[in-house]
Structure 1
């Protein structure tokens, strides 16, 4: 179906489009389904339905517009698309079955590429919380998190780090430990998370004192210049799956042990 494009000046955090309920029925999709956007290339997006968009028009969020080209197209063809294979792998976890390395990597890759809905992400997090993951699965998830993100390479060694599992309100010892280590001539590029199970994480508390959102290159430059940093890991592309998983964990106030371990090790 060819529809007029209405550019929505909003970022959704995922590749999403909004379709009029009647158009969605005609195409044969519902909210949470996928459609393929065909212009000069192909892009798969998650569907939202409603009457805020007139019939014959598709509302396109900023992420989709940017992916489709320098200028958002005036019209676009929409066709139904199948769910990614990782949805089936998540259901496998819900049935308490062990995953293969390829299946774990596919889930993490789809998380990074924003191919999963919030509900599918929540199912993955909840399954991990209830059933846990084997040591092999945790290792595979850690490696997948590393492989799907950036790395910072330093010429000087050793590089120090400090990490704790968090969850204790007010216990932000990183703000003491990092300056002490840096003052003794060692490099410590400390990335921290925002709140997961509490009111504020280390990055939230540090942001009261100084900015915490920097790129990987900026982190390297600052660390080499002054010895250490305390920054929010979610602003970098280092283990990007981690912060996306935290978005699913925070509303439930849970931090599955498997994600906790993979998150810590993927940033080392």
Structure 2
């Protein structure tokens, strides 16, 4: 081994979307080159290169002085054998950080600025701290609509794009904020059974107790290669998969890895994230669901209408047929909050079980009906009836079972976590209000979505009468520490308000 090379050592640490390298402090190369902890380095081997954040190690049992350790993420990306020789040098700082600093100072950025930023992020030139700076600089209302278009286009161009070679490729997306709102897992089998192409690629949860991919993973494999995803969609006319393996708008995945721990979910980033992913997935027609309610992401109708204008402006500029549906966001949809409980609700609706949550069924039919009306052979206003007939006839559950088998069926167990706390009404009356944010927080503290069986199971919804001491929901967890924290949170504020019928919160929209 020469003085300017190091041996690769695989360090079994999951650094989640960040390349991390490890050098021993006693390494002569480390001392000679003047490396510092958390600086960026470039690792080269056999024509491959990797940019990584440097961590300095004092324990030789982790990495020896003649070795370079790589986290799981970095080792897989460099794609060489353990023990192979690599060269290491300082990485040039990303030139586009100048644009981020200008944005922090309130300047307006150009398309070239956003393109450079997206390129550097995609090439992992940004550390998570630098990505956090970009997210904060562009958060809330710090992007005008043209900047939002530039960001969306830059994120779209950062990765691959699917082309299904069909004139109508449908999709739907909810902006989130409503626990249990797993309508995609009902819309996809209904629309696919109608014969329309609907390749649904979804993200995992960012700030919620479950995303569509997290819940579908209870039933089937969601980590599909692009080749397998194509085969399934061609065969079944749809899929319900995680979008992270398809390399679609990869900048979005990297930014989400920073947004999740920070709890950041700004409107501009949300619009860019949704539309870049949908366009990259080859969608030509899209329904966007914006729930409105006092504890939803969007709390006022004027805010929903402004957000709709943003979606429509960017969608029109990027040539995607987009319709926005503003829906009832007063309370969770369905009963279950958390992957296993939500998957149970979905299967009950598909199986036409009389105990299935009525609100989840109705909302899914409304959304599926609007998508079916994209079909030029369907007259306006007939979509709902067609969707209902597909569901009632059993064609939707048959299609869902086909999708599950095609993606790779899992052993399905709808039993929730073994630890259970029952939350009861503190007085008699009518449920007038349910706090979406608090219910989602309780489910997350209980362990969802990492613990698939954790979550909250609602027994009462807005408008239901309750007696004092009657159970209103149950909290499930699999681990005692999670259970203790979730139980304490529910005791401090159970998220329900009980009063008289006159105080029941009325919906802002029809459904």
Category of TM-score, reference length = shorter chain: 0.7 to 0.9
TM-score, with structure 1 as normaliser? 0.88
Cα deviation code 1:73-97 (max 9, x no counterpart): 6554433333111223222222222
2:209 to 193, 199, 220: 199
TM-score, with structure 2 as normaliser? 0.48
Q: Does structure 2 retain, via aligned residues, the 8 Å contact 1:152–1:216?
A: no
Question: For residues 59 and 70 of structure 1, what CA distance do their matches in structure 2 show?
Answer: 13
Q: Which moved more, 1:58-67 or 1:224-233?
A: 58-67
Residues matched between the structures, number: 268
Q: Does structure 2 retain, via aligned residues, the 8 Å contact 1:198–1:253?
A: no
Cα deviation code 1:39-79 (max 9, x no counterpart): 56565432111213343443234565566674456554433
From the superposition, tell whether residues 22 and 83 of structure 1 become closer, same or farther in structure 2 (CA, over 3 Å). farther
The corresponding residue for 1:114 is: 124
The corresponding residue for 2:22 is: 18
Could you list the runs of 5+ residues in structure 1 that have no partner in the other structure?
Answer: none
The corresponding residue for 2:158 is: 148
Question: For residues 161 and 188 of structure 1, what CA distance do their matches in structure 2 show?
Answer: 6
The corresponding residue for 1:50 is: 57
Question: For residues 67 and 176 of structure 1, what CA distance do their matches in structure 2 show?
Answer: 36
Q: Does structure 1 retain, via aligned residues, the 8 Å contact 2:141–2:267?
A: no
The corresponding residue for 2:35 is: 29
Question: For residues 35 and 97 of structure 2, what CA distance do their matches in structure 1 show?
Answer: 17
From the superposition, tell whether residues 179 and 25 of structure 1 become closer, same or farther in structure 2 (CA, over 3 Å). same
Matched, 1:103 2:113: yes
Cα deviation code 1:1-49 (max 9, x no counterpart): 7353241244644443212235545422222212234556565432111
Question: For residues 170 and 138 of structure 2, what CA distance do their matches in structure 1 show?
Answer: 30
1:93 to 99, 103, 114: 103
Q: Secondary structure at the match of 2:166?
A: coil
Instruction: Supply the RMSD in Å over aligned alpha carbons.
Output: 2.5
2:138 to 111, 128, 151: 128
Cα deviation code 1:135-170 (max 9, x no counterpart): 222212222222221222123331111112112111
Of the two, which has the highest radius of gyration?
A: 2
Question: For residues 102 and 72 of structure 1, what CA distance do their matches in structure 2 show?
Answer: 39
Question: For residues 230 and 209 of structure 1, what CA distance do their matches in structure 2 show?
Answer: 10
Matched, 1:4 2:14: no
Q: Does structure 1 retain, via aligned residues, the 8 Å contact 2:10–2:82?
A: no
Which of the pair has the greater relative contact order for Cα pairs under 8 Å at 6+ separation? 1
The corresponding residue for 1:235 is: 245
Question: For residues 19 and 75 of structure 2, what CA distance do their matches in structure 1 show?
Answer: 9
